[in-house]
Every structure is written in structure tokens, then in C-alpha cells.
Amino acid sequence: MKRVHVNEELCMGCGLCEVYCAVQHSKSKDLIKAFKRETPKPVSRIKLLQEKPISFPVQCKSCRDPLCVSACLSGAMHVDEKTGSVIHDEERCIGCLTCVMVCPIGAVRINPNNSEAVIKCDLCQGSEIPACVKFCPNEALTLEEG
Amino acid sequence: MVKYVIIGCSAGAVGAVEAIRELDPVGDIAVISEEPIPAYSRPMIGKYLSGEVNLENMIFPSKNFWEKQKVQLFLGKKAVKLDLTRKEIELEDAEKIGFDKLLIATGSKPIIPNIEGVTKKGAYTFTRIADAEHIRETVHAIKAQKAVVVGVGLIGITVTEALAKLGLKVTLIGRRDRVLNQVLDQKAAEILEEAMQKEGVCIVKGRTVQRILGRKDNDDMVGGVLLDDGSAIECDLVVFAVGVVPRTELVINTKLKINNGVLTDRFMQTNILDVYACGDVAETYDFVVGKQRVLALWPLARISGRVAGYNMAGLKLEYPGGASMTALNHFGVPIISVGLTTQSGDSEGYETLVFHDQKRRIYRKIMLKSGKIMGMTLVGDVERAGVIFHLMKNKVNVEDFKHKLIADNFSLASLPETLRKQLIWEVYNEFHYSPK
């Protein structure tokens, strides 16, 4: 199973991971257009955490025993049978926040544009390397197996 | 004879079937349910009533789950008798099903107050999809304008929001001094109450309903309610949401030990060998108070069901326990509340940390005892909840960084390095509720 690993020591706290995550999940997928022209504003699915001097982004790690899946009220949060990744089906989500209550690393985020569904890292489905990993200027983020 | 028989087809049964099939891909499983349809997301019936979701979106946990797991469903069939000696279940139509292992996952049923007029047309409870359908039919048939909801718990708030969304003028009546009194303190409740009032909900506190009044033109139909102070409130329908109790009627005359719910050990087994119980019907372990009690909560039903399933399939796995844990997002106010949250002041060795920003409608409260988190309430800004829940569940001593827990920028990054790294490692590798 693929996971984004974070090397805290290498993270500079620049926040580009958030920027490119938002772009990747925007309508235009274009940096300028996404932030200048799109309404609602694109939202990042990962959050850069900072408590200086420490900084690192947190993204869903697809726990081996995901509590969010067990706790989900609607069945939106589920484990992909093929990849083992935790998948969130936003269409089925009702925004009840139960997953937010139990995620041990706080990887599920509130969508400021839609209170009816939460958001989380989807490993940039469809692309080989997630945007946060691809655009991290200091190689603090890496995509690894297991 | 069926190897595994489960009575009840909801979250507990789903959890149990998932676990059994991980360990035993071929053993026969039968699930018996009084309801005519297989498991659906019960917490979603509010959104079903308001028309935001349809039944298809509510199928739980996914389409074709029971077929894929090779489960034989007995739907629309009520189990009426349990014979522990012969290890047999009798259904309403006299059919008998023998079992090797049995799981009682019958859930809970709503309390219907014993007051005059409760049988009038237009008086409802709200725990099943059929309730939502009946209410919706009534709303349309009589073009209902006004509703009364009795009870200020989670179900009461849910049905109030749904009725308000349907355009009804709702009066919410509770005998307590605030909404969600079991999980919210005064300040947290106030934030939610304000939001509800803004949406036109009228909240009447400290009152009980004495009688349901009939309509002037038809006494068989609900026309209003009479309160204990003598005042009357006109309405076209009334929904009772005054709590639920475990559905123990099937087991009440057997040797199974029952307190408030069916007693279980940490392996979800009852006092009788091969007979297990989970979810709302059972008394299960609460890791905050350190004892077994009824915790009628959807996530815990599925999780305790899973633990029951593993044990039924032969793997001894201990249930780590649940807690009073509520997440809700009604009337635009996100709220998460876990553990002990309503105690006031610093009594009995409890320490309370509070952050309140009235303008931003943000409220955070942490209850501590001997450096350990006993409860949290978060209103408005809830993204940190999971990290705190985890510290709480693992009984981590937070004395050295406790003030950070309620600060604006608290996150995983605020934890001491060793703790943070250990937590992430656990996320990758540990099993909270399953072996694998």
C-alpha cells in the first residue's frame, strides 16, 4: 500500500504542498487560474502543521486498522479491496464528523466550501505521484510502499 | 444448524460479518431482522426525512455487502424465542434456526412516554426509516405547518433539523436546562441553541409534556401538546425523542444476565458460552469510566460487533472499549464531544481547561484528572479532535503540554517528539480493533 512519508527534519514549512494539493483538486488544475478565477477557492486536502521549529504536512496514512472506516456513519469511508488504501466517497459522505473525531493524526479536514462532506488526502487519484510529493522543494515528502 | 446466527441487521451485524469472514470464509452465517430491508445507515434517517438523501445512498455499508459476504438474510422476520439449551431461535412464522454461535445485535428501541393521547395519529418516534416515511407522509397529507419535538438528545436535534428543513415551525421541548445536556455543558449548548433559534426553532426548556391534545375537528389526530405548567402548544405532529432502551425482550426470560443491557465481558461474550452481544443492546466497556455500560452509539456498535465476530470465529480478541462520543454537524455548528464533558468546576480532582471565543463561535474544553484527559468538548473548530481522542484512549499523561490542547494552533506538531513519532508509528502498524 502506498503512503506519503514525511521527513520532519527536511520540511521548511513553505506550504507549497498545500498550494499544489489545492491546485490538483481544483477545476482548472492551473496554479494561477485556480487561485485567481475559481469560486469557490480551491481547498487543500492536507494541512501543514506548525509549532515552530517543527513543521510537516499531515495526510491520511491509510492505517492498517482504520478507525474512520469502522466509525463512519454512512459507509462513505471504506478500504479499497485492491490497494488497501482508505478511500473516501464524498458523494456518500454526510459531513457528520465522526471520522474527524477518531482519526489519530487529524488527517480528515473540514471543507470550508461544503459542510455536507469532509475531505482527506486521496493520493491524487489518477496521477502516479501525489502533487505534494512532486512539488516539495526539499524532498521532505516521499511516496513509499508499505 | 447454522454456524453463526446474528439477530439484528444493522451496524453490529455488519461489523460481526466483516470479522467472521476475515477468519472463516466458508462457515454459514444467517442474519435475522424484523425490518424488511437489510442494514441502512440509521443516523441518516434525518436527511432521508428532509429529502437530502434517498434509500440507495443509505444502504450500509455498501451495495451487495451481504451477497459478497455470503450471508443468508432472514428479513421481515422477527425472532420471538431463544432456547439456550437447544441452541435454537424461533421466528414469528414458527420457523426454527439452530446455531453454533449466536450474536444478539438487536439494538435499542425508543422510549414511548406513558401519557394520554400518545396513540393519536401524528405522534411518532424517530429511530427507523419507516418512522421517517410515516412522518413525511403525514407532513404532505395534512400539509403540516407546526411540529413539536420532545427530547433534546441527538435524535431530537436531528429530527428538529429535518423538520425545519421541510419548512415546518418546530418547537423543541426538553425537561433539562439545555440541549444535548448529556454531552454538552452550558456554554457549548448555548452556541448550538443560538444557531437553532436563528433557523426559527423555538426551544422550551425545563418543561415536560403531560398530554397530547386532539384536533378540534378530529380528536384522533394530534392537535397540540399540554405542558406541565398548564400551557398548550398547537401542532400538527409530535415526535418523541426521549431516549432509547436496549431491545432485550427476546432474552428477558432466558438465563442471560441483563442489567440495563445484556452483560458482556471484554470478548463480547455473555454469561452463556457461545452467546455474544454487541452494540446498543449490550453493556460494553467504557474506557473513560472503566466499566461496562450501555453506550448506544453507531460507531461502537460496528466496532464491538467486529470484536464479537472475531471471538465467535475462534480468535480471542479483547475489546479495547468505547466512550460516550458524539460528533454532530447540525444547524451549521460542528461539535465533537467525548468522555466526561458536563462536570462543572474543578470538583473531585478534575481540572478544566477552557477556551472560548464568542465572536468566532469557538469553544474548547478539556477535562483532566491526574494529568490524563477524561473528556473533551470542541465547538466550531474540531479538526484536532482525533489527536486528543487518541491521547485520551491511550491514557497519555499530558501534564507537560496540557495548555496547548486548547490553543488555536494545536495539532499533531504540538506533541513532544517521542510521543508524536510513536503515534504515527502506531497508525501505520497497530490494530485497534482487529488482529490481521
Element (H, E) at A132: helix A131-135
Contact criterion met (CB < 8 Å) for A67 and B432 = yes
| Closest CA–CA distance from residue A57 to any residue of chain B (Å) | 9
Residue B352, C-alpha cell as written in the block: 478544566
Tell whether B299 lies on the interface with A, counting CB pairs under 8 A.
yes
> Of B62, B328, B428, which has the smallest distance from its Cβ to A75's Cβ?
B62
Contact criterion met (CB < 8 Å) for A73 and B43 = yes
From the number of C-beta atoms within 10 Å of its C-beta (0-12, 13-18, 19+), residue A47 rates as buried
Minimal Cα distance from A146: which residue of B?
B428
Residue ranges and CATH numbers for the domains of chain A are 1-59+121-146 (3.30.70.20), 64-120 (3.30.70.20)
Buried b / exposed e over B382-394, threshold 16 CB at 10 Å, is bbbbbbbbbbbbb
CB contact residues (below 8 A), chain A span 114-143, against chain B: 115-116
Q: What is the pLDDT along chain B (436 residues), one digit of tens a residue?
A: 999 999 999 999 999 999 999 999 999 999 999 999 999 999 999 999 999 999 999 999 999 999 999 999 999 999 999 999 999 999 999 999 999 999 999 999 999 999 999 999 999 999 999 999 999 999 999 999 999 999 999 999 999 999 999 999 999 999 999 999 999 999 999 999 999 999 999 999 999 999 999 999 999 999 999 999 999 999 999 999 999 999 999 999 999 999 999 999 999 999 999 999 999 999 999 999 999 999 999 999 999 999 999 999 999 999 999 999 999 999 999 999 999 998 765 667 899 999 999 999 999 999 999 999 999 999 999 999 999 999 999 999 999 999 999 999 999 999 999 999 888 877 777 665 555 4
Contact criterion met (CB < 8 Å) for B433 and A65 = yes
Residue A38, C-alpha cell as written in the block: 475559481
On the question of a common fold for B123-242 and B343-429, the answer reads no
B2-109+245-312 maps to CATH 3.40.190.10: no
CATH superfamily of B123-242: FAD/NAD(P)-binding domain (3.50.50.60)
* ipTM of the prediction: 0.97
Give the CA distances from residue A71 to residues A66, B153, B213, in Å, rounded to whole numbers and listed in that order: 9, 20, 41
Contact criterion met (CB < 8 Å) for A47 and B411 = yes
DSSP string computed for B82-143: EETTTTEEEETTS-EEEEEEEEE---EEE-----BTTTSBTEEE-SSHHHHHHHHHHHHHTT
CA–CA separation, B20 and B69 (whole Å): 10
Contact criterion met (CB < 8 Å) for B329 and A115 = yes
Give the CA distances from residue A132 to residues A28, B148, B273, B291, in Å, rounded to whole numbers and listed in that order: 17, 50, 53, 44
Are the beta carbons of A110 and A99 closer than 8 angstroms? no
Domain B343-429: give its CATH architecture: 2-Layer Sandwich (3.30)
Domain layout of chain B by residue ranges: 2-109+245-312, 123-242, 343-429
Residue B364, C-alpha cell as written in the block: 474548547
Contact criterion met (CB < 8 Å) for B43 and A96 = yes
CA–CA separation, B399 and B338 (whole Å): 19
Tell whether A67 lies on the interface with B, counting CB pairs under 8 A.
yes
Handedness of CA B314, B393, A8, A99 (dihedral sign): positive
Contact criterion met (CB < 8 Å) for A104 and B389 = yes
